[in-house]
Chain A
Amino acid sequence: MGLLTPDFGLFFWTLIAFLLVLFVLGKFAWKPILNSLSEREDSITKSLATAEQARKEMASLKSENETLLQKAREERSLMLKEAKDNAEKLISDATAKAKSEYERIVADAQAAISQQKQAALTDVKNQVGNLVIEVAEKVLRKQLSNKGEQEALIKDLVDNVKLN
């Protein structure tokens, strides 16, 4: 059968054509194509790895942030509490101080008042004494300006004086 016997000519040309294609493509096509394919795959793998790492870093950063935030929150509440305590203490201190001051002032005032009162009373007593003496002097002067009266008085006085 003609179909099953290979022709020498066609075999010969196929050999040449195939080896030519193999050589030319191997040198000018497959090498650059395969190289850039593997290069691209490498870069994709690398990018993926980088992305994964970035994602992990991101996650760790996030958790770090979270803990920081938590800490900050705690600190804030602590600070608030402290501030509140301080304020309360301040207020109570101030109140106590004011109270004691007030008491001191009141006591001082009372002491001053009583002192003044004493002084005033002494003054009044002295003035009343002086007035009484003056009045008595005047009265006496007037009554003893004549002789009869002087004698009456003496007599009165003498009457009154009971010699024991």
Chain B
Amino acid sequence: MASKSLKLLWALSFSVILTLFSMQGRAAEPAADSAAAPAVEAGAEPAHEAGKLDISHEIFSHIQDAHDWHLFSINENPVTIPLPVIIYSPTNGLSVFMSSKFEHGHEAYNGYQLNSEGKVEALDGSKIYDISLTKNVVAMFLAVILIFIIFLNVSKKYQKNGASKAPSGLQNAVEACVVFIRDEVAVPNLGKDYKRFMPLILTIFFFIWIANMLGLIPGGANLTGNIAVTCCLAIIAFVVMLFTSKKHFWGHLFNPPGMPTAVKFILVPIELISLIIKPIALMIRLFANMLAGHIVIACFVLLIFIFANLNVWIGGGFSVISVGLSVFSMLIELLVTAIQAYIFANLTAIFIGQMIEDHSHHAGEEGFDHTDTERELSL
């Protein structure tokens, strides 16, 4: 029953997306055909030269966060879903209103306005905390709901069927991933203590994977390609690392055994930096990979309009190549979504594994460290 409703959900979302996509095409087509009218998509800053596409603006409006969910534009009028703006200001207190009040950046409201980057700022320039439900936040909530639907259903199935019955349907798919994470990520890196960290690593993996995949859907938000999201995930991983670290790790860090004192003065800062670099590496890797993928796909699609600006026929002809290229990079991205989720989970496991290492590894310390860093580099 669960799988049936899920199928319905998929079908519904796909049909909605397809409709949106075709409408987007139709909306953009006249702009390209006339060649005189600018194909303006994001409404935040419609001031370009007539007849010229602002490519970087187009791309960045696709990959950046926004206060409204832009669907498509009809004759320069953007059609968007307004999202709630929540602002806490130490001077003015909390204010909540819909982003439609800004009229796409043309109006100020309640003492706030949208700046040229699409961010909310106070008119008087005072410090504010913007915790609005932006496009990315809403997309993240959708991802969270999807995760809950999937995993709570699967969990229910496990509880209903017990351990002796063979898995079926969605349970089967999830089980393969869970077993993979347990046997390929957690157990080799965390050793016998892996059970403690399984929930964290599984959650990281599926959270990133599902968020990645939702970002691939045309019209979806570039959630994991946003540095705030990856930064938060990396910090959570880092905090877990610090809280689970053992004395052995710190002892090695501040007093590397078997080293002359002079070398220690060089080594300890390097080790400290490498410790800080770990979460930064996690953050940048996911962010850059997902961002690059989105940019590439957007570029391939926009190539059509660049060529159409030169000549309608070239644009039409190139659309075939462009669609082929973007389908290709879409497929690669589909792979990358899983790979990046796996890498994030795997690196988290490796880092935690280094922190909780016991004296039992003492003899192979150098070799162990070495292989780990190598593995890290290859990722």
A74 to B51, CA, bound (A): 107
Task: Give Cα A28–Cα B148 distance, bound, in whole angstroms.
Answer: 10
Tell me if B200 counts as interface (CB < 8 A to partner A). Answer: yes
Beta-carbon contacts under 8 Å, B122-156 to A: 129-134, 136-137, 140-141, 143-144, 147-148, 151-152, 154-155
Cα distance A21–B149 in the bound complex, in angstroms: 11
Size bin of chain B's contact surface:
35 or more
- Report yes or no: A32 in contact with B155, Cβ–Cβ below 8 A: yes
Contacts of A14 in B (CB 8 A): 140, 228-229, 232-233
Q: Which 5 A-B pairs have the closest CB atoms?
A: A39-B163, A6-B228, A10-B228, A26-B199, A14-B232
User: Counting chain B CB atoms within 10 Å of each CB, which of A14, A20, A43 scores highest?
Assistant: A14
- Tell whether, in the assembled complex, residue A11 and residue B232 are in contact, meaning their CB atoms are under 8 Å apart: yes
Within 8 A of A (CB), among B177-233: 178-179, 182, 195, 198-200, 202-203, 206-207, 226-229, 231-233
Nearest A residue to B158, CB-CB: A36
Q: How far is the CB of A29 from chain B (nearest CB, A)?
A: 4
Asked if B24 lies at the interface with its beta carbon under 8 angstroms from chain A, I say: no
| A148 CB-CB contact with B under 8 Å | no
Selected contact of B130 from candidates A5, A7, A19, CB within 8 Å: A7
Determine if B358 is an interface residue (Cβ-Cβ < 8 Å). Answer: no
- A sample of 8 inter-chain contacts (CB < 8 A) reads A7-B119, A9-B131, A13-B137, A14-B233, A17-B140, A21-B147, A29-B154, A31-B199
Q: Do A3 and B151 have beta carbons less than 8 Å apart? A: no
| Closest chain B residue to A14, Cβ basis | B232
B224 — nearest CB in chain A belongs to which residue?
A14
Query: When the two chains form their complex, are residues A10 and B179 in contact, meaning their CB atoms are under 8 A apart?
Result: no
Contact B131 A12 (CB under 8 A): yes
A6-B227, A9-B228 are known; give 14 further A-B pairs, CB within 8 A. A3-B227, A4-B227, A5-B227, A7-B226, A7-B228, A8-B131, A11-B231, A15-B236, A21-B207, A22-B199, A24-B148, A29-B151, A34-B195, A43-B164
Q: How far is the CA of A33 from the CA of B207 in the complex (A)?
A: 17
Chain B residues with Cβ below 8 Å from A36 are 158-159, 162-163
Closest A residue by C-beta to B140: A17
> How many Å from the CB of A106 to the closest CB on chain B?
92
Query: Which A residues are CB-close (under 8 A) to B152?
Result: 24, 28-29
CB contacts (< 8 Å) of A30 on chain B: these are 198-199, 202-203
- Are A37 and B228 neighbours in the complex by a CB distance under 8 Å? no
Query: Residues of A with Cβ closer than 8 Å to B?
Result: 2-15, 17-22, 24-26, 28-37, 39-40, 43
Residues of B within 8 A of A28 (CB): 152, 155
B164 & A22 in contact (Cβ 8 Å cutoff) = no
State whether B117 touches A9 (Cβ < 8 A): no
Best-buried of A2, A6, A7, A22 by chain B (most CB within 10 Å):
A7
| Known pairs A8-B131, A10-B226, A21-B207; A40 contacts B164 (CB<8 A) | yes
Min C-beta distance of A138 to chain B, whole Å: 134
Min CB–CB distance A140 → chain B (angstroms):
138
Give CA–CA (A28, B159) in the complex, Å: 10
Distance in angstroms from A48 CB to nearest chain B CB is 15
Chain A residue nearest in CB terms to B175: A37
Interface membership of B357, Cβ < 8 A: no
* A6, A26, A29, A43 — most chain B CB neighbours (10 Å): A29
Report the minimal beta-carbon distance from A4 to chain B, rounded to whole angstroms. 6
Measured in the bound complex, the distance between the Cα atoms of B137 and A18 in whole Å is: 12
Q: Give Cα distance in the complex from A29 to B236, angstroms.
A: 20
Please, how many angstroms separate the alpha-carbon atoms of A163 and B199 in the complex?
A: 170
On whether the beta carbons of A25 and B147 are closer than 8 Å, the reply is yes
Contacts of B148 in A (CB 8 A): 21, 24-25
Q: Is the CB of B117 within 8 A of A2?
A: yes
Question: Is B80's beta carbon under 8 Å from chain A?
Answer: no
B296 at the interface (CB under 8 A from A): no
> CA A17 – CA B247 in complex, angstroms?
32
Across-interface contacts of A7 in B (CB, < 8 A): 65, 119, 130, 134, 226, 228
Distance between Cα atoms of A22 and B178 in the complex (Å): 15
CB contacts (< 8 Å) of A4 on chain B: these are 227
Most A CB within 10 A of own CB, among B63, B152, B199, B207? B199
